[in-house]
Structure 1
Amino acid sequence: MYVLGCLNGDASRNAFERVVDRAVDRLSREGRVGVVRYDATIADGTHESLTVGGDVTYGLGADGDWTASGTGMTVADALDALATDCDYAVVVGVPGLRYPTLVVGDPVDEHDEVIATVSGPGELDEEELVATLEASEPYETLESLVARVKRSPDADRAGAIATFTGRVRAKDDPGDARTEYLEFEKYEGVADERMTALEADLEARDGVLDVELYHRTGVVANGEDIVFVVVLAGHREEAFRTVEDGINRLKDEVPLFKKEVTVEDEFWVHERP
């Protein structure tokens, strides 16, 4: 699922909503769209599934942490819920997200990853927006990858789904300096090609029906998930074996570079002896 943020800089509400509507309508021609809207005036924990403004809409607001009061649902929770069956998510009114962002008017937060700035709907290049968004890193969860292999044409022959989740640990040992986050960069082009080739190689094994590999890039905080391996197979033996081989080969063969930032230091792991 690809995530697009939409922010209103200094445009009128009408202009902003028209731009959002155009973006959602254009994405809906490519696939299923979910919308997450934040509104500080929502004070009752609104969490509704609607058919307005996309296939699914979540309304969040009220307590200052992008959380729906009463439900405890955050923007990340809403995205997790959408990721299993939506191709796109549009997040409206939440600054500071680490996702491609469309701004109407002047940008309001230097931390936003702005991919387009327009003053109104007439300036929106819809085709460029789709192309730029689909060139970004998709939003995946373990659940979304499991849901994808379950939709495999060979799912009727499957008796097992095995998974691996790698996450950021805060410490190796109790006395270690606490890790605040890891930052991952990939060798552009090469990393994606090798990941795709590795998936194909693993899927060619006897008894293996589908394989999904996913590794996040950018900043990943301690406690967050980094990498997923999901294997659909006829039996558990080949499923477990392929998951283990998959994560080992991903680490060995896919060029990803890791910087570790602790409370005391920061360093690129591959540069350490």
Structure 2
Amino acid sequence: MKKIILILFIAGAVGAQSKLTGKLYLDSGISFKETSVEFDDYVVSAQKKKAPFTAALLSFAVPGAGQFYSESYLKSALFVAVEAAAITVGLIYDKKGDDQTIRFQNFADEHWDVARYARWTIVHANEINPSIDPSNYFVFNPDGTVNWKELNKLENALGGYYSHRLAPYGDQQYYEMIGKYPQFNVGWDDFGDENTPYKYGDPLTENFIFYSKERGKANDFYNVAYKAVLVIFTNHIISAIDAALTAHSFNKNIKVNAELNKINVGYRTFYYPQLNLQYNF
């Protein structure tokens, strides 16, 4: 522990002349009687403390701000750097995920066809489930478009490896299903037509496999972005806790106070300020 004391003397005589009579022999006696030294201290608090709650609140809002407030500049810089890096990574990989999503969706729109899938399903319905009469399901509208509701009813009735109902076109689940479940393999343009045989467990088409990998890349990008968000959230929490501890440590290590002291010497009064700086190493 070091203790540094800075003392500045400012002297002044206060009300001394009122006690003198003007007669030398009497004034000498008065002066002798009054030559007793008295000390009075007036302490003025000027402790340089940091509020842990304020520090925590600052760092929860902006990581590193509480450390800066508590004069821990290196730790402040570290928390700011982590925040900036996490935000940058999050934005970059979220954009990568968006771009990759557009790419794989465009590929699906070009190479996968719900009508091709529906035609194959109708032709092979009896092979999948002999109890099914496909003529009872009006999967195609008069204009040749697919009746999605009827298609879902047929899928539900077939059972077996037809374990999923095709989600509406453009839905996130739509793009997931056609590259995830084997029942949708027959809808890819490199599969063949409705007369091409296929059994569950047969090899998937190259387009199915390629599309599945492309969709996986988008998910990987989004996972990185998600983890960056977790880092940001965690950085706020840890920074807030650390800021409170840093402020508390600061208050234990440093103490500053000022005192205004008075000395009475005879009929004269002297005032002097005293500054005390105490720092714990």
- Does TM-score exceed 0.5, indicating one fold? no
TM-score by length of 1: 0.23
Higher percent of residues as strand: 1
Higher percent of residues as helix: 2
Q: Highest relative contact order (Cα 8 Å, sep 6+), 1 or 2?
A: 2
Tell me which structure has the larger Cα radius of gyration. Answer: 2
